[in-house]
Structure 1
Amino acid sequence: MDPKSGSNLSFILNKPHDVQFSDRPVPTLSDPHDVLVAVNYTGICGSDVHYWQHGAIGHFVVKEPMVLGHESAGTVVAAGAAVSTLKPGDRVALEPGYPCRRCGPCLGGHYNLCAAMKFAATPPYDGTLTGYWAAPADFCYRLPDGVSLQEGALIEPLAVAVHIVRQASVSPGQSVVVMGAGPVGLLCAAVARAFGATTVVSVDIVDSKLQFARSFCATHVYASQRVSAEENAANIKREAGLEEAGGADVVIDASGAEPSIQTSLHTVRMGGTYVQGGMGKSDINFPIMALCLKEVTAKGSFRYGSGDYKLAVELVASGKVDVKKLISGVVPFKEAENAFKKVKEGEVIKILIAGPNEKI
């Protein structure tokens, strides 16, 4: 890991299904509050795969070659003169988005809503599938002893789940239903358990995901059927013992799928809380009558905000969330595109790409 070598191999998306490896300049520390990090491991998110397949997500369109990746951990190799919290050799999880710090949302503690956010691998900003990454020191979280760099690469999706569960205000003794058993859905269920929920139900259409959810964190699982949303909701409540309560205290949708969202509103109890964490179609048919008649508290959730990353690190360090179980495998940097293919085909839960500073 020598930035003086000038080599900064990066995995770059030119256009859909057109990627290449190329050397980019090693970043310079133009701000005394920044650090330079050698990237050791990077996970692949669904948004990365979407850009690779389609070249755009909504109005974010890849117009120039863009480095992919934003779920990373690495090792500090240089620190700006004003940095007092980190030093070369420290292992860190990277928070990949940097707000303006000056607008109303930022000053109000909701920097994830900053309109001027610079987020890795979101056009026009490059991502972290690269050799070296420069970042503000306060957006790099030192990993405690006992937390590996591979676990550090999963702090990003765990922070997403922490934010969702905090939006739901999950508290001890509650019942929580999580729609979707992909990485974020699984982590939402795990965080809900860590927050003290005593009934945690994972719902999906893929049996293998549900079997993993049962072994990972869920107290109950339910395989969604090709029936009405009301019938699926009734089945969930019956199988999880939630009929007497009239449904779950909290329902989280981590899928973005219209049938799951509809089922969610019929699953939550009177006066319960519903949080939309998954993104799907821009517009859907929504059971507004169920929302109103139950006086459901409905919230959106976007990325992560103040304290979420710090708590995610603590959950891993304390052993309350075992993110290692989600790692299906690790591939060398030169096999990055194959890793994307495996994620697209649903062959893995979470695959990590090593390096290019990490040899496997």
Structure 2
Amino acid sequence: MSYLPNPSLQITADHKIKLVEAPVQEPGKGEVLLHIKATGVCGSDLHFWKTGRIGDLIFHGDCIIGHEAAGVVLKCGEGVTDLQPGDRVAVEPGVPCENCFLCDDGRYNLCEDVAFAGVYPYAGTIQRYKSHPAKYLHKLPSNLSYLDGALLEPLSVVMRGIQVAQLELGRGVVICGAGPIGLIAAAAARASGAHPVVITDIDAPRLEFAKEYLPNIQTYQINTSLDAQGNAKAIRTLFGPDEYTAPDRVLECTGVESSICTAAYTARRGGVVVVVGVGKEIINNVPFMHLSLAEIDLKFINRYRDTWPRAIACMSAGILPDLKPLISHTFPLERANEALELCADRGRPSIKVTIVDETDVTV
């Protein structure tokens, strides 16, 4: 098989981005070669670009980024029987070792030896061609597009957060942050039967979009003249007059220290705060004794596990509202660097930016 050029977006160890042609990796045993058709830009991509790390995940060299992806199978490696050329698939980007005690226990999202696409040194999906284990590819039904498929990864993050938070019918929830993850979380929380659902942000236009996109939720704009307790008090009034009606579940989707503190004071006594967002390596000002005396559980998630089949089913069946309106901008692969630059530019508002490749690649 002859291949077209393989443009790829890479982050360098000295915090630069570059668009360069990459070699095409032939599929090995149990792998398939994909033509990546769509990849969403994630906040973690920006973190890696600007800081070179997220916790212990460090870019020691150049690496192709991207992990929110969908594509079409071009070629199957040895032993692949459940996929064939032409199959449309969503990419589950994390490939665990399958040998450690966490993998044995089914908690493969915590595997320390995971090969995660777009995290150094494992090549990501912002390229035309990518080989990936067939086990971690999921067929797309005919009513889901490649753009839908690329949104399954952030939806999986949200589904893991909702699982840990134990949302249920009639349970109130606050979503901190009206970025892509927060908006998907609000949509999924509403679909789960949670009520009331309140989404917060510091940015008024994002909240306006949230209200248009999900008219059955409430919004709250963070007041920068108030401290965390003051904002939390104002958020609580949206749920009712007393402690009993205060929200007992909060999904913190920004990772920002001040937002985590606000979330801690927003949850009622005995409640749960689940941190979904990615933040600084060390956060010093979390109100420890408030959480302790109120027995508020501060929980975290690390990506997801066993979510893709359920996410595909929910999206395909219309359980969730259409997530594609969150895609504010698309860029062709050859301009992927511009997509990342847009996401990083606060002066040019965007929600979900997606890189697409409509090049005709012969199967």
* TM-score (structure 2 length as normaliser): 0.92
2:119 alignment counterpart: 122
In the comparison of the two structures, how many residue pairs are matched? 355
Q: Deviations over 1:201-227 (max 9, x none)?
A: 101100111111222236111111121
1:12 alignment counterpart: 10
User: Is this contact kept in 2: 1:41–1:358, CA < 8 A?
Assistant: no
- How far apart, CA to CA, are the structure 2 residues paired with 1:67 and 1:242? 51
User: Is this contact kept in 2: 1:16–1:53, CA < 8 A?
Assistant: no
- How far apart, CA to CA, are the structure 1 residues paired with 2:16 and 2:360? 25
1:279 alignment counterpart: 278
Q: Secondary structure, in 3 states, of the residue corresponding to 2:265?
A: helix
- How far apart, CA to CA, are the structure 1 residues paired with 2:14 and 2:150? 25
User: Is this contact kept in 2: 1:251–1:268, CA < 8 A?
Assistant: yes
Question: Which of 103, 127, 131 is 2:128 aligned to?
Answer: 131
1:299 alignment counterpart: 299
Question: Which of 343, 355, 360 is 2:357 aligned to?
Answer: 355
User: Is this contact kept in 2: 1:162–1:311, CA < 8 A?
Assistant: no
2:327 alignment counterpart: 327
Q: Secondary structure, in 3 states, of the residue corresponding to 1:328?
A: strand
Q: Secondary structure, in 3 states, of the residue corresponding to 1:248?
A: coil
- How far apart, CA to CA, are the structure 2 residues paired with 1:49 and 1:358? 29
User: Is this contact kept in 2: 1:6–1:25, CA < 8 A?
Assistant: no
1:44 alignment counterpart: 41
- Displacement of 1:170 after TM fit? 0.7
What is the percent sequence identity of the aligned residues?
37
1:148 alignment counterpart: 145
1:269 and 2:271 matched: no
Please tell me the residue identity of whatever aligns with 2:8.
S
- Displacement of 1:246 after TM fit? 4.3
- How far apart, CA to CA, are the structure 1 residues paired with 2:78 and 2:131? 14
Q: What is the 5 A alignment of 1:1-360? A: 4-5=2-3, 7-16=5-14, 18-31=16-29, 33-217=30-214, 219-226=217-224, 227-241=226-240, 243=242, 245-281=244-280, 282-305=282-305, 307-321=306-320, 322-346=322-346, 347-355=349-357, 357=359
Q: Return 5+ residue gaps in structure 2 as ranges.
A: none
Q: Return 5+ residue gaps in structure 1 as ranges.
A: none
Q: Secondary structure, in 3 states, of the residue corresponding to 1:232?
A: helix
Q: Secondary structure, in 3 states, of the residue corresponding to 1:325?
A: helix
- How far apart, CA to CA, are the structure 2 residues paired with 1:68 and 1:244? 45
User: Is this contact kept in 1: 2:243–2:268, CA < 8 A?
Assistant: no
- How far apart, CA to CA, are the structure 2 residues paired with 1:246 and 1:196? 17
- How far apart, CA to CA, are the structure 2 residues paired with 1:194 and 1:358? 37
- Displacement of 1:358 after TM fit? 6.3
Q: Secondary structure, in 3 states, of the residue corresponding to 2:49?
A: helix
Please tell me the root mean square deviation across aligned C-alpha atoms, in Å.
1.9
- Displacement of 1:249 after TM fit? 2.2
- Indicate how the Cα distance of structure 1 residues 16 and 260 shifts in structure 2: closer, same or farther if over 3 A, else same: same
- Displacement of 1:191 after TM fit? 1.3
- How far apart, CA to CA, are the structure 2 residues paired with 1:41 and 1:16? 27
- How far apart, CA to CA, are the structure 2 residues paired with 1:16 and 1:328? 29
- Displacement of 1:294 after TM fit? 2.3
- How far apart, CA to CA, are the structure 2 residues paired with 1:288 and 1:14? 37
Q: Secondary structure, in 3 states, of the residue corresponding to 2:89?
A: strand
Q: Secondary structure, in 3 states, of the residue corresponding to 2:290?
A: helix
Please tell me the residue identity of whatever aligns with 1:219.
I
- How far apart, CA to CA, are the structure 2 residues paired with 1:232 and 1:148? 40
Q: Deviations over 1:116-155 (max 9, x none)?
A: 0111111111111111111111211111111110111111
Q: Secondary structure, in 3 states, of the residue corresponding to 2:118?
A: coil
Please tell me the residue identity of whatever aligns with 1:324.
K
User: Is this contact kept in 2: 1:16–1:54, CA < 8 A?
Assistant: no
- How far apart, CA to CA, are the structure 1 residues paired with 2:61 and 2:257? 33
- Indicate how the Cα distance of structure 1 residues 266 and 13 shifts in structure 2: closer, same or farther if over 3 A, else same: closer
Q: Deviations over 1:268-303 (max 9, x none)?
A: 122222111112122221112222222223311111
- How far apart, CA to CA, are the structure 2 residues paired with 1:241 and 1:79? 57
Q: Deviations over 1:165-186 (max 9, x none)?
A: 1111111111010111111111
Please tell me the residue identity of whatever aligns with 1:270.
R
